[in-house]
Each structure stands twice: as C-alpha cells, then as structure tokens.
Amino acid sequence: MLEKKQKFPNFALQDQKNTTHSLTDYAGRWLVVYCYPKDNTSACTLEARDYSCMAAQFLDEGAHILGVSPDSVKSHAGFVEKQELSVTLLSDPEHTLLEATGVWQKKKLYGKEHMGVVRSTFLVGPDGVVREVWTKVKTPGHAEAVLERLKVLRREG
C-alpha cells in the first residue's frame, strides 16, 4: 500500500467524458484520489455523493477530487448522470493505478476470496507526494475528515 511521504504514481486514465487525466495535469495543486470498488453500490454512491456535495469546499482549499474504480467509462457516465455527481471518476479496468497504489487486493466475501478494491483515499500535495492515507474507509463522515485534514496540512505549509 502506498504510504505517506511517497510519490504518488503517475497515471493516464479516462474519465466519464472520455477525457484522459494524468498526475501531471494536477502539478502544483492538491489532489484527493479516492479509490472505490464499484459504481452504483450503496457505500460507493454515498461516498461519491458526499464528495460531490463538498466539491466546492475542496476547490476553495485548492484541491481537486478524483474517484477511481475498475468500472468502465460508460459505467461511470451512467453513475454520474443517475446520481447527479459533480466529481471526476476515472476508469481503471486494467487496475494500473489501483495496483500501483496497493488498493487492488485479495478480499473475502461470504467466505470466498476474490481480487478487488480496498476502499482507500490518498491526499496528494502540490509536489505529487502523498500527505495522508486512509484505508478500509467507512464512508459516513469520511469526506468531511479528508477536508479537515487538508485544511490542517495547508495551514502547516
């Protein structure tokens, strides 16, 4: 798993509008990268809605929000439309960024093992270095906690 003080891996992934995003696009800016298992599931929907509702507050703090899952661009487009989301969702069907960050892991569900995304969030500084990591995230109140940590880190310089 990627840890604090490590460089966030570069990526080139498409969003729900087929626009390609990379880490260099956000150079000099704060970035919240939240990795989640699947579009249109209850916890993932709650997380995406929370970030969407708070997107303006994150922008006021100089941070952009990117959600990443293995879902397709088409799935993301439907998810954004259905839930009226304002966040950018990146499609990683080959798990390149998900594996590079260490969130693509063996999981157990109903006693069966499978590979999947461990819900995690990375707060990346303007220099591309990870400043904070949350793993095995519980969605209620998480976006607020990330925003508060961002504010503290910005004050600290």
- Number of C-alpha atoms within 13 angstroms, CB side, residue 97? 28
Q: In a 3-state reduction of DSSP, which class is residue 31? A: strand
What element of type H or E holds 63?
A: strand 63-69
Strand, coil or helix: 86: coil
Q: From the candidates 13, 44, 73, 90, give the one annotated as an active-site residue.
A: 44
Element (H, E) at 21: strand 20-22
Respond yes or no: is residue 53 known to be catalytic.
no
Q: For residue 24, give the amino acid letter.
A: T
Active-site residue list:
44
